[in-house]
Structure 1
């Protein structure tokens, strides 16, 4: 029987960027790089080599300094080494979301315990960028303009449809981001992937605007995640 890891590795290492985006929107596909292909294989083999279902934790789309570099959701090269024990030669990158997520992972009991219960992913699996005014590319969200959203909607639908076949708990999904919730609920209304959706504030929002309240948000994350696995 194929494991969760088998299915995830096959999926990520064959991802192709869509060709129908507006001309000023770029896509980063790290999975075409040999080192990222190796990282994906090692990460999923280490934490997902079983057929057990996971609770899906869904972000928006990767940032260019997290999964846009490593191929692992919400994970920078340095956090891949420090928390997941996976050596790599990728350049360390700044990524607020990854900093908070790995505080959550550690508070939950570490990477092995966390990933035995949860699958971190995104509605769209590749990092998006937009040309900045004299600053180079900047991070972009799939919902930042209507044309991009509608162009990617079939790919978003297929992303979630394919990934739930890795092995998922359909009773509940965790949505990261209040605005993201609008789109996940729209998708779920159309496709009935999950019985229930619970939403948490996005890690980037927490570290950018609510740093004084990080302990409260961390406690809220852990309580919500424990409620989700109790609901399984």
Structure 2
């Protein structure tokens, strides 16, 4: 009898396909691929343990999409919105030379905890990005900085086939397409909406403010946004 892949095994297969991706971008831009970087064996260990731990089933999940992995965030760990310390507690594997905006990750962990904890949260949601590989550009000082897929129209046009194919593949993992939650209520939401209008991936896309916007610029309203996240994510139908 043929083995039916779990949700987590399908995610890992998707990531193995991402490891093969190469896209020649214009000078000054570069994709960051954690699944085929210098730490690829370590990343494979971490992602295997993580997705086998939280996604070893075939439960349909709703999709939460950020824009693209930060070069010192998910582009290092390979797991969306998870920082090294939390991954160490979940997998027992230490990832060195890692940095993330802890205020942003802490906000998302607080959302998960109030939702019922990581296990309950990941039973209902699968997190990813519109562009699942990191993107950097070289600034005027010659330094590599984060770049979002929507910041440059030429880059967006070049990445669109990859983005569309990645969304299709991830939906096939077992995604409930009645709703998609978009982290980033401005440009990411607007660009994802345009893509969705063209390809009809989801019935509705619901925007949520980015944790960095909340913690850095609206910290006094943190409780308001925390409640908004929970209310939005626990709503049964849209």
TM-score, L = length of structure 2? 0.91
Q: Using the alignment, how far apart are the partners of 1:225 and 1:44 within structure 2?
A: 21
| Structure 1 unmatched runs, 5+ | none
**Does the 8 Å CA contact 2:8/2:55 hold for their aligned counterparts?**
yes
Match of 1:125 in 2: 132
**Structure 2 counterpart of 1:7, from 3, 7, 10:** 10
Task: Return structure 1 stretches of 4+ with deviation > 4 angstroms.
Answer: none
Q: Does 1:86 align with 2:94?
A: no
Q: Using the alignment, how far apart are the partners of 2:123 and 2:149 within structure 1?
A: 29
TM-score, L = length of structure 1? 0.93
**CA positional deviation for 1:94:** 2.3
**Does the 8 Å CA contact 1:17/1:27 hold for their aligned counterparts?**
no
**CA positional deviation for 1:135:** 6.5
**CA positional deviation for 1:115:** 0.3
Q: What does 1:1-232 correspond to in 2, within 5 Å? A: 1-15=4-18, 16-32=20-36, 33-82=40-89, 85-91=90-96, 92-95=98-101, 96-134=103-141, 136-178=143-185, 179-227=187-235, 230-231=236-237
Q: Using the alignment, how far apart are the partners of 2:221 and 2:79 within structure 1?
A: 27
Q: Using the alignment, how far apart are the partners of 1:198 and 1:141 within structure 2?
A: 19
Q: Using the alignment, how far apart are the partners of 1:87 and 1:173 within structure 2?
A: 31
Aligned length: 228
Q: Using the alignment, how far apart are the partners of 2:139 and 2:219 within structure 1?
A: 27
SS in 2 for 1:63: coil
Q: Using the alignment, how far apart are the partners of 2:77 and 2:201 within structure 1?
A: 27
186-195 vs 95-104, which moves further: 95-104
| Structure 2 unmatched runs, 5+ | none
**CA positional deviation for 1:163:** 0.2
Q: Using the alignment, how far apart are the partners of 2:87 and 2:140 within structure 1?
A: 32
Q: Using the alignment, how far apart are the partners of 1:88 and 1:149 within structure 2?
A: 35
SS in 1 for 2:91: coil
